[in-house]
Amino acid sequence: MTRLLVVRHGEAEGNREHRFIGQTDVPLTELGSQQVARLTQRLAGVEISRVVSSDLRRAADTVIPTAEALGLEVHYDERLREIANGEWANLVAADVEARWPDLWSRYRQGEDVERPGGESWTDVQVRAVQAIEELVAALDKDDTVLVGTHAGPALGILRWAIGAPPEGTVWGLPFGALHNTSISTISLPGPRLHTLNDTGHLEGSEGLFV
């Protein structure tokens, strides 16, 4: 059985303000680094055979410590990047609503709108799943792969795992939001989703669970 451990990055600059960070290459916050340390401790005993990641630093810096602890190289794939926000980049909700009220209303109602000059969630799911399918095709049957990515691509991959089409916003049903450094586990062949949004490594640590 092949396993994918799909991990969202640790808290990054702009997350607390709920900014549309997208592909802006921001670093982890101090809290994010603490979350990563906990994640690394948890994964140190797992027989991971390969590490792949978005090339954006917040995702890369989330999985590099585990890769180093296990003596593995990190393989980067830009298809695992977060959504390209276009003109929404680095704005907060109030900014978007003020400048694009009709588009924002449709977005809030769950429509998969394309950001002006950017992508839609369908675009993100298609490219992220393509990256995963190519990865899986090259794996041995007993590989365990750590996948470092972002909330949007991770949710797209999880929808693929349960056979859900790339339609509508990834923030709606069936999953909702993913926490920073959460682990979701998929097995193959299938695919089959086993665990979702697992943050056991953060529980009981005041201030780390966000």
Q: Would residue 9 show up in a list of annotated catalytic residues for this protein?
A: yes
CA-based nearest residue to 116, from 79, 144, 142, 87: 87
Beta bridge partners of 198: 183
Which one of the listed residues 11, 18, 82, 114 is annotated catalytic? 82
Which one of the listed residues 9, 11, 119, 201 is annotated catalytic? 9
Q: Would residue 150 show up in a list of annotated catalytic residues for this protein?
A: no
Residues with catalytic roles: 9, 82
